[in-house]
Structure 1
Amino acid sequence: MFYKKFGKRFLDLLLSTLAIVILSPVLLVVAILVRIKLGSPVLFHQERPGRNEKIFTLCKFRTMTDKRDEKGNFLPDADRLTKFGKLLRATSLDELPELFNIWKGDMSIIGPRPLLVSYLPWYTEEERLRHTVRPGLTGLAQVSGRNFLDWDSRLSKDVEYVKKLSFAMDIKVLVKTVTVVFSRDEVAEDTSVSEGNLAEIRKKRQEAQV
């Protein structure tokens, strides 16, 4: 209980501060490369739900260009994602600016990944437990299959993490995360899984049950 209420936030603040200082040269180099290869802005901002479903602004390095069709609409993500962008995602370097979200208190190092605001109406009551803690830079679902998990399994892992939250659990997830990142295994986007968009899937399921 002490860890959940006080220790976890203390470690988040301590470790995010150290990481920002130590990784500042990496942050600078990546920012310069993003500016050269992908243009401006260097950072990608998007609103995500945090603890108690409070909306905050997630910050990441951009990984896609601004290419548009003849009507001025953005091209599909696959057409705008460059080799450099894929490299940033594969190495998780695009996630580094989230260290500032952790430092501010919007996020935690370990926790359920912050998903899209549009998904909020589609969670079950059990799945809403994922928002009783701060969202994380990495989490139990991310080291248990990432996009190889369907949505039900992934959200179940988030709930499992919340129910079993402890210092030992966080250390376990952190160690596994390092292993996954350096092996470049199961690396994928955090906003979609192999099944597709959560809202669309849940809506179709609901319609099928009517």
Structure 2
Amino acid sequence: MIKRCLDLGVAGTLLLLSAPLMGVVALAILGTMGRPVVFRQQRPGLGGEPFYLNKFRTMAEATDASGRSLPDGERLTGMGRWLRSTSLDELPTLWNVLKGEMSLVGPR
């Protein structure tokens, strides 16, 4: 109960404070890579219950001549590399914390 209240308070505060930065990042991604701006990936949550993890997109949707996705290293954009190095790509996970799908402390 205390952990959940702490998660709500910290995640809510961080979301409010980082909202302008998240807007700038979203516009930069939109301008350089287009849509979608947010990458969603299904992950196992508490008790194995699946949930969708939200992150800012860092890779281009590039394919080879046969239509297969290129390796991650070739799809990572300059903007994406910077977002990952600063961990700004993780900001949308605060929504997952607010929804109770993740916690700020504990296993990912």
Q: TM bucket by the smaller chain?
A: over 0.9
Residue identity matched to 2:81 = K
Could you tell me how far apart the structure 2 residues matched to 1:40 and 1:75 are? 18
35, 41, 47: which one aligns with 1:46: 41
Quote how far apart the aligned CAs of 1:16 are: 0.8
Residue identity matched to 2:49 = K
| 1:35 aligned onto 2:21 | no
SS in 1 for 2:39: strand
90, 93, 108: which one aligns with 1:98: 93
Runs of 5+ consecutive residues of structure 1 not aligned to the other structure: 1-5, 114-210
| 1:21 aligned onto 2:16 | yes
Residue identity matched to 2:71 = P
TM-score by length of 1: 0.51
Residue identity matched to 1:92 = S
Quote how far apart the aligned CAs of 1:71 are: 1.2
Q: Is the 8 A contact 1:39 1:65 kept in 2?
A: no
Residue identity matched to 1:37 = T
Quote how far apart the aligned CAs of 1:45 are: 0.4
| 1:75 aligned onto 2:70 | yes
Q: What is the aligned residue count?
A: 108
- Bigger radius of gyration: 1
Quote how far apart the aligned CAs of 1:48 are: 0.4
TM-score by length of 2: 0.97
Q: Is the 8 A contact 1:45 1:58 kept in 2?
A: yes
33, 40, 57: which one aligns with 1:62: 57
Quote how far apart the aligned CAs of 1:110 are: 1.4
Residue identity matched to 1:111 = G
Residue identity matched to 2:18 = L
Residue identity matched to 2:74 = D
SS in 2 for 1:109: coil
Quote how far apart the aligned CAs of 1:82 are: 1.4
Percent identity, aligned pairs only? 47
Could you tell me how far apart the structure 2 residues matched to 1:39 and 1:74 are? 17
SS in 2 for 1:33: helix
Superposed, 1:132-171 pairs within 5 Å as: none
* Bigger relative contact order (CA 8 A; separation at least 6): 2
Runs of 5+ consecutive residues of structure 2 not aligned to the other structure: none
Residue identity matched to 2:63 = R
78, 99, 104: which one aligns with 1:109: 104
